[in-house]
Amino acid sequence: MTLRTFLIAGAAALTLGTAFTPAYAGSYVSIEQYGAGNAYGGAQHGYGNRLTVYQNGYANNSINTQTGHRNRAVVGQDGYGHYADTAQFGRRNVGIAQFGAGHTAITTQDGNGNAIGVIQAGRGNRANVTQIGRGNVSVIIQD
């Protein structure tokens, strides 16, 4: 991970300003992909789920779905094609950072305690945010 990516990811985490569930409380997925094709799917059901995806390389893709309580998703994409789709149902937080070309971020949240942070820099940019429920907060930064 480059210093730039690390700093932007840290800024996204600070922007969300939330506390996260410890790993012992449920499932945890961490994926790092470097290089050409890049793709990821995913689904988690249960309690205290967490997800971290970092894609650096070319075509980039990410689809994340979590159902349950205290869900968290963080997606960092640096490279080219970009696409991140995150839908969570429960007590959820989402952060997406995309740098360097195609960009698209679609996140949907349904429930209480919601927060979304999307940072997109350098070309295509597009964000689609839907939140239904209680403490919804959305922060979108595009350059």
Collapsing DSSP states into helix, strand and coil, what is residue 119?
A: strand
The closest of 100, 91, 97 to 127, measured between CA atoms, is 97
54 has a pLDDT exceeding 90: yes
Three-state DSSP state, 74: strand
Alpha helices in 17-76 (DSSP H): none
pLDDT of residue 10: 52
Q: Give Dmax over CA atoms of the chain in angstroms.
A: 40
The amino acid at residue 59 is A
Mean of the per-residue pLDDT values of the chain = 81
Q: Which residue has the higher pLDDT, 8 or 29?
A: 29
CA distance 74 to 70: 13
